[in-house]
């Protein structure tokens, strides 16, 4: 990262154990980023910390390194993890685990992920063998605790990544119920690029004398990120999107609803652009495969709902497109933050119709970013110059059909919610359509948790209108969009 200047102390000077310093160097990480240098003295000393750093600024290691350093050499008792990292989505859990598991092994620590949509039996077995660091989404962890497979009574270090999101309406009850089970004398760390909202409530209730580390002002734009507002005639929007998607280079396009993601993915396939579709209505295996294909470069375009907006890091994403506007300025920043990470350059484009310009500009002002506004059409020079847009081949590509998921409900103990009175089904997160559970869409979650561990707001059918998938039900600033009934 460009801002990680040589004047910053080294990891060793900051007090990180030699084994961790070497393990970092083996991964090509030798100089701390500013948020890491700022937090490490306090976090290593065991203090509670609130950490805010821009998207892509290295917060995962800012909380992960002190956690591993302070636990090094200890061994957790069966079912009793010593540290817990709570995250909002399954994909983010996997990513945090990837970032920390190998580093943890270098100091004798074993990390494990527990998230919905994966075998609960395997998670129970792993916990029985002993897990030092647990990375979890709140719903699945709550389930495991209720089954007696896990206890938080030995947790000494707790991290909430994307802490402001974890305080959103849908997550708060589950998160605070979990925090209530953790001994109050342990260390707590809250991190996000946007620490506001109800974070204060968590701070007052669960943190002791916390230090705040914020390496840039709340609304400071990422310097290496360019923002553009493209005003497009509605009639041309599909074609403009197809040209942008036809560019070379890794692109993420954000769409508000699951249906919208699937529809755009199919439309692009018809004109010759192979894109991966990621949203909370897909099976976990499909979600994992799609993200892996994107990471490995098998597809250059990812079409996603906001399930991919928080925390997800994929190298070399050079363009983020808001096909549908973000729900608010915070979501704008998190979506945008999938590009221009760790000092790289990146471009963010928002496509709007004429009547959407004012709201979009207001949102950007609140996000603290300045966007260049241009009117664009198909084949437009500005569009080509800024995004590298090019006409797709027009030769349809096949969209791989998603394999039908195995019905797991009949296997005893296979992650079913066995509550008295047969209270599974829609109350416990099972997706229903027209009153019937859709085959294969069974969800092993908790009340209030969606397929990806993200919260639900209201049971389907009672919301009085369509709503966002993957996110709590919030109205975009200044507009009342049509939202898909979710999950």
Ligand X SMILES: Nc1ncnc2c1ncn2[C@@H]1O[C@H](COP(=O)(O)OP(=O)(O)OP(=O)(O)O)[C@@H](O)[C@H]1O
Residue ranges binding ligand X (CB under 6 A): 29, 31-33, 36, 53, 55-61, 193, 311, 313, 337, 341-342
Q: Does 59 bind Mg ion (CB under 5 A)?
A: yes
Contact segment (CB under 5 A) with Mg ion among 53-61, 257-265, 301-309, 457-465 equals 53-61
Residue 33 CB, nearest approach to Mg ion (Å): 12
Which residue is associated with the tokens 């639900």? 456
* Residue number, 56 or 392, with CB nearest to ligand X: 56
Structure tokens at 302: 């990812």
Closer to ligand X at the Cβ: 57 or 350?
Answer: 57
- Is residue 256 involved in binding Mg ion (CB under 5 A)? no
State which residue, 165 or 446, has the beta carbon closest to Mg ion: 165
Cβ 72 vs Cβ 21: under 8 Å: no
Read off the tokens for 114: 């527990």
Interactions with Mg ion, residue window 286-325 (CB under 5 A): 311
Smallest distance from the beta carbon of 312 to Mg ion, in angstroms? 8
Q: Is residue 450 within the footprint of Mg ion (CB under 5 A)?
A: no
Q: How many residues in the shown chain lie near Mg ion by CB under 5 A?
A: 2
Q: Choose from Mg ion, ligand X, none: what does 138 bind? Cβ within 5-8 Å by kind.
A: none
Specify the 3-state DSSP secondary structure of 82. coil
CB-CB neighbours of 292 under 10 Å: 12
* Residue 230 vs 254, nearer CB to Mg ion: 254
Rank residues 33 and 230 by Cβ distance to ligand X and give the closer one: 33
Q: Is residue 51 a contact residue for Mg ion (CB under 5 A)?
A: no
Minimum distance from CB of 466 to ligand X (Å)?
28
- Least CB distance from residue 32 to ligand X, whole Å? 5
Token digits of residue 233:
């005639």
Rank residues 118 and 163 by Cβ distance to ligand X and give the closer one.
163
Pairing status of strand 432-433 against strand 436-437: antiparallel
In angstroms, give the least distance from the CB of 49 to Mg ion.
15
The item of Mg ion, ligand X, none sharing an interface with residue 56, based on CB under 5 to 8 Å by kind, is ligand X
Distance in Å, CB of 340 to ligand X, minimum: 10
CB of 220 or CB of 391, closer to Mg ion: 220
Stretch that binds Mg ion, among 52-60, 128-136, 370-378, 422-430 (CB under 5 A): 52-60
What is the C-alpha separation between 389 and 402, in angstroms, rounded? 29
321 DSSP β-pair partners: 253, 349
Closest CB to ligand X among residues 99, 152: 99
Chosen from ligand X, Mg ion, none, partner binding at 57 (C-beta under 5 to 8 Å by type): ligand X
Per CB under 5 A, which of residues 186..215 are in contact with Mg ion?
A: none
Question: 324 with 258: CB under 8 angstroms?
Answer: no
Kindly state the smallest distance separating residue 135's Cβ from Mg ion, in Å.
Answer: 12
Separation CA 400–CA 144 (nearest Å): 34
CB of 232 to ligand X, least distance (A): 28
Q: Give the integer Cα–Cα distance in Å for 52 and 356.
A: 31
- Nearer to ligand X by Cβ, of 69 and 127: the residue is 69
Least Å distance, CB 341 to ligand X, is 5
What's the N-to-C CA distance of the chain in angstroms? Answer: 38
Report how many helices (DSSP H) and strands (DSSP E) the chain contains, helices first.
15, 16
Closest contact distance (angstroms) between CB of 308 and Mg ion is 13
Place of tokens 């947790």: 155
List, as one string, the DSSP characters of 296-322: TTS-SEEEE-GGGTSS---TTEEEEEE
Query: Smallest gap, in angstroms, from Cβ of residue 301 to Mg ion?
Result: 23
Report how far residue 51's alpha carbon sits from residue 67's, in angstroms, rounded to the nearest whole number.
14
Give me the torsion for CA of 463, 466, 470, 473, rounded to 10°: -50
- Joined tokens for residue 396: 């349809």
Residue 201, Cβ neighbours under 10 Å: how many?
A: 12
Strand residue runs (E) in 94-156: 111-114, 133-136
> Which of Mg ion, ligand X, none does 456 bind, CB closer than 5 to 8 A by kind?
none
CB closer to ligand X out of 220 and 353: 220
Q: Candidates 54-62, 164-172, 297-305, 467-475: pick the segment binding Mg ion (CB under 5 A).
A: 54-62
Q: Kindly tell me which of 78 and 297 has the beta carbon lying closer to ligand X.
A: 297
Q: At what angle do helices 90-105 and 59-71 cross, to 10 degrees?
A: 40
Q: What are phi and psi of 455, to 5 degrees?
A: -75, 155
The full DSSP string for 415-440 is S----GGG--GGGGT--EETTEEPTT
Residue 19 burial (10 A CB sphere; 0-12, 13-18, 19+):
middle
> If contact means CB under 5 to 8 A according to the sort of partner, which of Mg ion, ligand X, none does residue 165 touch?
none
325 binds, among ligand X, Mg ion, none (CB under 5 to 8 A by kind): none
Kindly list the residues in this chain that would bind Mg ion in the complex (CB under 5 A). 59, 311
């Amino acid at each position: 990262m460009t801002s990680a200047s040589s004047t910053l102390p080294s990891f060793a000077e900051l007090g990180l154990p030699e084994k961790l310093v070497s393990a970092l160097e083996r991964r090509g990480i030798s100089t701390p980023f500013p948020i890491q240098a700022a937090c490490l003295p306090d976090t290593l000393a065991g203090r509670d910390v609130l950490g805010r750093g821009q998207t892509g600024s290295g917060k995962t290691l800012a909380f992960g390194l002190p956690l591993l350093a302070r636990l090094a050499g200890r061994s957790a008792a069966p079912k009793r993890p010593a540290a817990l990292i709570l995250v909002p989505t399954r994909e983010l859990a996997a990513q945090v685990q990837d970032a920390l598991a190998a580093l943890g092994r270098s100091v004798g620590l074993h990390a494990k992920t527990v998230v919905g949509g994966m075998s609960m039996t395997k998670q129970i077995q792993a916990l029985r063998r002993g897990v030092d660091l647990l990375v979890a989404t709140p719903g699945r962890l709550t389930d495991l605790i209720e089954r007696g497979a896990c206890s938080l009574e030995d947790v000494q270090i707790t991290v909430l990544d994307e802490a402001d999101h974890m305080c959103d309406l849908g997550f708060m009850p589950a998160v605070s119920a979990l925090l209530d089970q953790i001994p109050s004398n342990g260390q707590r760390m809250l991190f996000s690029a946007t620490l506001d909202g109800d974070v204060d409530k968590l701070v007052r209730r669960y943190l002791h004398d916390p230090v705040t580390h914020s390496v840039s002002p709340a609304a400071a734009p990422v310097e290496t990120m360019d923002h553009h507002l493209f005003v497009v005639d509605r009639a041309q929007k599909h074609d403009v999107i197809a040209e942008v998607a036809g560019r070379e280079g890794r692109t993420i396009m954000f769409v508000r609803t699951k249906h919208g993601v699937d529809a755009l993915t199919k439309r692009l396939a018809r004109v010759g652009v192979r894109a991966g579709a990621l949203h909370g209505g897909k099976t976990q295996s499909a979600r994992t495969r799609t993200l892996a294909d994107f990471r490995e470069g098998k597809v250059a375009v990812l079409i996603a709902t906001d399930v991919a907006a928080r925390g997800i890091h994929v190298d070399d994403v050079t363009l983020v497109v808001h096909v549908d506007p973000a729900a608010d300025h915070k979501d704008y920043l998190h979506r945008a933050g999938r590009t221009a990470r760790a000092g790289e350059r990146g471009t963010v484009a928002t496509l709007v119709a004429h009547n959407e310009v004012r709201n979009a500009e207001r949102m950007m002002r609140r996000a603290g970013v300045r966007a260049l506004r241009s009117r664009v059409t198909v084949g437009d020079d500005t569009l080509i110059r800024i995004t590298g847009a090019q006409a797709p081949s027009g030769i349809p590509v096949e969209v791989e059909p998603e394999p039908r998921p195995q019905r797991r409900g009949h296997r005893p103990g296979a992650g079913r919610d066995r509550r008295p009175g047969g209270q599974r089904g829609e109350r416990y997160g099972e997706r229903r359509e027209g009153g019937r559970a859709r085959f294969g869409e069974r969800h092993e979650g908790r009340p209030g948790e969606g397929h990806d561990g993200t919260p639900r707001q209201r049971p389907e059918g009672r919301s009085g209108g369509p709503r966002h998938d993957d996110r709590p039900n919030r109205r975009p600033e200044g507009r009342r969009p049509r939202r898909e009934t979710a999950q």
